[in-house]
């Protein structure tokens, strides 16, 4: 059973492989005169390895005088072209019957082709090729370089880049291999994407063709894909290989694109490929095709009218859209907002979108991704997607407002602004109670801090100034009062001393009346001398005391009496006698008499 399945699979693969071979026959014109050449091309695609020449049917109306074989391999696909150049023999309708081609035991047949042969050129209504299928690989005359033709002009309705390339190719249609380069705009603005196309045209086979891309200065260049195609130049079908680049200038001024080169190996005679195919020896030569350098004049963007939402995009037909991955969430859950900008050229160098704060939503940093995809007419379309995460802190209805994005339109030389539609988010209260990471939703302790705002207005009356504030307001009064206080203290202090002097005798008298010892008498006398006569007796010898008394106007007799009293008191101080109250009272009376004399004489 397994073997049967394997056989079916292998058979299917063989059938599939066989189906890949296609054979097409074409002529370069269906109406011709007896003086014209007719080129019959038989193209075999998908066949590889050894192959036989196609079997031509009987051609009684033509003489076949030349044949050629070209083989090329592009992207692993082999294509072989057999060309026959024929001369008509008779006027009238002629049919080229089915051409048979056998490969790997399978025979392929082409459809018959009808041509009309006229006697002269005036009679020829149309000389279009029999087929213009896009799959035609190569066609044309035996030696196009030998044919002199008027230079053709490209269709003016073609895009500038295509028209430029085609015109350059028409101008060089007398060469079998050539390289041309053109840009979509030679005076772009800063940041405007310009397409550079480099085309290698050929109508002969070649091999080993290393390509060197153009060097650029003051401009950023990146690959934008490759393409293949055909172009009829002077009735000869050329094939071309095209490489495209996207150029972006970051600063105004001149920018230069150097020449691109292709070094290719080609046979030395038209039959070399045929010779190689059938085992003959070939002589090859290396040649170089080079494109012309191009200079761009980069223009600065106008400063006038530049909107805040301009991030550097220059081009036409941009679009913007915004989308939230969900519009109904719980508080604390994340919503991904995607804003997509699409348009011509490369959006990679443009700045990142700045989202304005939205009340109640925490906005995380925006992540941008960009890229490009092939567009129509060989243009490149870029895209940039800005993604950000929004987290609503509390339940409610939130509106993500329109986001503005501006670009410079080089055609109208004006800034134009696009904006997204607002998006409404419906946020329900959070049901999460865990303490895990949930973008700030309700935590386990039931408390949730959303954001900080200022406290509300003060609607009460302002507090009355405090006592201390009022006190500080009476600054002058305070200083005056303090000055009064200081003066009062000063006067009080002086008055206190004067009062003590006045009351010295009365105080001493009271103390002497109450004295019951010599010591108490001595203290009373010392106090009197200190307060009344300002004589400090603490450490003063008697002689000094007597001198002080003399200065106070005390008579010698009174001074003598005081001297005796003082000596008596000194003796009692250092040799205390027995405590006799009557003696003490007697001594106190004597002392009082002496103090009375001192009081009288000191006045």
Partner 1 sequence: MMRRILISAVWVLCLAISGWSQTEAQQAEEMYRQGKFSAALGLYENELKKAPNNPYLYYNIGNCYFKMGSKGLAAANYYRAFKLAPRDGDIRHNLTLALASGGERLVPAGVPAVLHQAFFYLSYPELKGLVFVFLWLFCTVASIWLIKRKLGRMLVASAVILLLSGGWFLLRRSLEQQHLAVIASPVAEIRSGPGTNFPASASAAQGHLVTIQDDKDEWYEVIVQSQGIKGWIEKSAVEQI
Say whether residue 1 binds partner 1 (CB under 8 A). no
Say whether residue 543 binds partner 1 (CB under 8 A). no
Q: 208 with 121: CB under 8 angstroms?
A: no
Say whether residue 356 binds partner 1 (CB under 8 A). no
Stated as kind and residue range, the H or E segment containing 398 is strand 396-400
Binding part of the chain for partner 1, among 170-178, 181-189, 271-279, 461-469 by CB under 8 A, reads 461-469
Q: Which two tokens stand for residue 568?
A: 């008596």
Q: Which of 212, 215, 297, 488 binds partner 1 (CB under 8 A)?
A: 488
Min dist CB 488 to partner 1, Å, is 7
Rg of the chain taking only CA atoms, in angstroms: 61
Q: How many residues bind partner 1 (CB under 8 A)?
A: 32
Say whether residue 501 binds partner 1 (CB under 8 A). no
Say whether residue 503 binds partner 1 (CB under 8 A). no
Q: Which of 15, 304, 468, 575 binds partner 1 (CB under 8 A)?
A: 468
Stated as kind and residue range, the H or E segment containing 109 is strand 106-109
Helix orientation angle between 518-533 and 556-574, rounded to the nearest 10 degrees = 140
Q: Which is nearer to partner 1, 90 or 450 (CB)?
A: 450
Q: Which of 5, 52, 283, 462 binds partner 1 (CB under 8 A)?
A: 462
Say whether residue 499 binds partner 1 (CB under 8 A). no
Q: Which of 8, 74, 373, 471 binds partner 1 (CB under 8 A)?
A: 471
Min dist CB 491 to partner 1, Å, is 10
Give alpha helix (H) positions in 223-330: 272-277
Residue 257: HSE in the Cβ half-sphere, 13 Å Cα cutoff: 33
Q: Which is nearer to partner 1, 126 or 466 (CB)?
A: 466
Closest CA to 601 of 564, 549, 529, 543: 549
Say whether residue 486 binds partner 1 (CB under 8 A). yes
Residue 555: HSE in the Cβ half-sphere, 13 Å Cα cutoff: 12
Q: Which is nearer to partner 1, 376 or 475 (CB)?
A: 475
DSSP string, 546-572: HHHHHHTT--HHHHHHHHHHHHHHHHH
Say whether residue 571 binds partner 1 (CB under 8 A). no
Q: How many CB atoms lie within 10 A of CB 349?
A: 16
Say whether residue 466 binds partner 1 (CB under 8 A). yes
Give alpha helix (H) positions in 160-303: 160-171, 272-277
Stated as kind and residue range, the H or E segment containing 295 is strand 294-298
Closest CA to 290 of 258, 264, 259: 259
Q: What is the 3-state composition of the chain as percent helix, strand, coil, each rounded to the nearest 5?
A: 25, 35, 40
Q: Which is nearer to partner 1, 483 or 542 (CB)?
A: 483
Signed CA dihedral, 533, 539, 541, 547: sign only: negative
Signed CA dihedral, 512, 513, 517, 518: sign only: positive
Q: Which of 64, 285, 373, 473 binds partner 1 (CB under 8 A)?
A: 473
Give residues 441-460 in contact with partner 1 (rule: CB under 8 A): 452-460
Q: 70 with 204: CB under 8 angstroms?
A: yes
Strands in 110-163 per DSSP E: 113-118
Q: Which of 17, 145, 489, 564 binds partner 1 (CB under 8 A)?
A: 489
Q: Which of 338, 478, 501, 510 binds partner 1 (CB under 8 A)?
A: 478
Q: Are strands 100-103 and 106-109 parallel, antiparallel or unpaired?
A: antiparallel
Say whether residue 399 binds partner 1 (CB under 8 A). no
d(CA 14, CA 4): 15
Binding part of the chain for partner 1, among 30-38, 120-128, 258-266, 481-489 by CB under 8 A, reads 481-489
Q: Which two tokens stand for residue 516?
A: 């019951």
φ/ψ bin of 293: left (φ > 0), alpha (ψ from -120 to 50), beta (otherwise)? beta
Min dist CB 457 to partner 1, Å, is 5
Binding part of the chain for partner 1, among 46-54, 264-272, 426-434, 468-476 by CB under 8 A, reads 468-476
| Strands of the sheet with 22-27, listed across from one edge | 22-27, 38-45, 77-88, 62-74
Q: Which of 3, 308, 411, 496 binds partner 1 (CB under 8 A)?
A: 496
Q: Which of 73, 212, 369, 472 binds partner 1 (CB under 8 A)?
A: 472
Say whether residue 482 binds partner 1 (CB under 8 A). yes
Question: Could you tell me how many residues make up the chain?
Answer: 603
Min dist CB 498 to partner 1, Å, is 13
Q: Which is nearer to partner 1, 5 or 461 (CB)?
A: 461
Q: What does the DSSP 8-state code read for residue 79? A: E
Q: Which is nearer to partner 1, 92 or 495 (CB)?
A: 495
Alpha-carbon distances, residue 540 vs 14, 546, 598 (angstroms): 148, 10, 18
Min dist CB 428 to partner 1, Å, is 26
Site string for partner 1, 304-333 (x = CB under 8 A): ------------------------------
Q: Which is nearer to partner 1, 376 or 493 (CB)?
A: 493
d(CA 183, CA 550): 132
Say whether residue 464 binds partner 1 (CB under 8 A). no
Q: Which is nearer to partner 1, 10 or 471 (CB)?
A: 471
Min dist CB 448 to partner 1, Å, is 19
Min dist CB 356 to partner 1, Å, is 12
Name the site residues for partner 1 (rule: CB under 8 A). Answer: 452-463, 465-473, 475, 478, 481-482, 485-486, 488-489, 492-493, 496
């Amino acid at each position: 059973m397994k073997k049967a399945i394997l056989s079916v699979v292998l058979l299917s693969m063989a059938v599939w492989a066989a189906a890949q071979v296609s054979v097409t026959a074409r002529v370069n014109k269906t109406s011709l005169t007896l003086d014209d050449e007719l080129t019959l091309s038989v193209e075999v695609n998908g066949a590889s390895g050894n192959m036989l020449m196609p079997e031509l049917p009987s051609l009684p109306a033509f003489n076949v005088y030349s044949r050629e074989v070209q083989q090329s391999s592009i992207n692993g696909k082999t294509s072989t072209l057999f060309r026959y150049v024929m001369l008509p023999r008779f006027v009238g309708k002629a049919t080229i019957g089915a051409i048979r081609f056998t490969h790997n035991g399978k025979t392929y047949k082409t459809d018959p082709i009808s041509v009309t042969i006229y006697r002269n050129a005036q009679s020829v209504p149309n000389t279009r090729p029999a087929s213009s299928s896009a799959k035609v690989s190569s066609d044309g005359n035996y030696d196009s370089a030998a044919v002199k033709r008027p230079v053709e002009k490209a269709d003016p309705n073609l895009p500038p880049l295509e028209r430029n390339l085609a015109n350059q190719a028409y101008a060089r249609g007398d060469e079998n291999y050539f390289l041309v380069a053109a840009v979509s705009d030679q005076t772009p603005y800063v940041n405007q994407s310009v397409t550079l196309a480099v085309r290698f045209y050929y109508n002969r086979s070649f091999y080993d063709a290393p390509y060197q891309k153009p060097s650029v200065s003051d401009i950023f260049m990146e690959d934008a894909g490759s393409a293949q195609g055909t172009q009829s130049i002077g009735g000869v079908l050329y094939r071309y290989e095209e490489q495209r680049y996207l150029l972006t200038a970051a600063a105004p001024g001149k920018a230069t694109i150097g020449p691109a080169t292709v070094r290719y190996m080609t046979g030395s005679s038209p039959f070399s490929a045929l010779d190689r195919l059938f085992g003959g020896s070939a002589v090859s030569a290396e040649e170089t095709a080079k494109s012309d350098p191009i200079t761009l004049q980069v223009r600065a963007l106008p400063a006038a009218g530049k909107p805040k939402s301009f991030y550097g995009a220059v081009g036409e037909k941009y679009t913007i859209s915004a989308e939230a991955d969900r519009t109904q969430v719980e508080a604390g859950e994340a919503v991904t907002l995607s804003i997509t900008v699409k348009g011509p050229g490369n959006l990679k160098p443009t700045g990142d979108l700045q989202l304005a704060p939205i009340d109640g939503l925490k906005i995380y940093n925006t992540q941008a991704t960009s890229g490009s995809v092939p567009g129509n007419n060989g243009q490149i379309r870029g895209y940039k997607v800005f993604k950000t995460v929004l987290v609503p802190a509390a339940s409610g209805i939130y509106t993500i407002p329109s986001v503005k994005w501006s670009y410079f339109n080089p055609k109208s030389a004006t800034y134009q602004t696009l904006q997204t539609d607002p998006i409404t988010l419906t946020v329900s209260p959070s049901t999460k109670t865990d303490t895990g990471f949930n973008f700030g939703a309700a935590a386990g302790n039931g408390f949730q801090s959303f954001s900080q705002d200022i406290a509300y207005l003060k609607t009460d009356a302002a507090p009355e100034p405090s006592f201390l504030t009022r006190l500080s307001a009476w600054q002058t009064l305070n200083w005056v009062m303090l000055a009064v206080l200081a003066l009062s203290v000063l006067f009080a202090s002086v008055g206190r001393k004067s009062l003590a002097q006045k009351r010295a005798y009365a105080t001493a008298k009271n103390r002497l009346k109450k004295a019951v010892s010599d010591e108490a008498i001595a203290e009373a006398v010392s106090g009197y001398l200190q307060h009344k006569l300002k004589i400090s007796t603490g450490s003063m010898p008697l002689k000094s005391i007597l001198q002080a008394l003399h200065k106070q106007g005390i008579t010698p007799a009174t001074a003598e009496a005081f001297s005796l009293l003082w000596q008596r008191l000194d003796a009692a101080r250092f040799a205390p006698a027995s405590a006799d109250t009557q003696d003490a009272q007697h001594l106190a009376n004597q002392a009082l008499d002496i103090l009375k004399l001192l009081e009288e004489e000191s006045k």
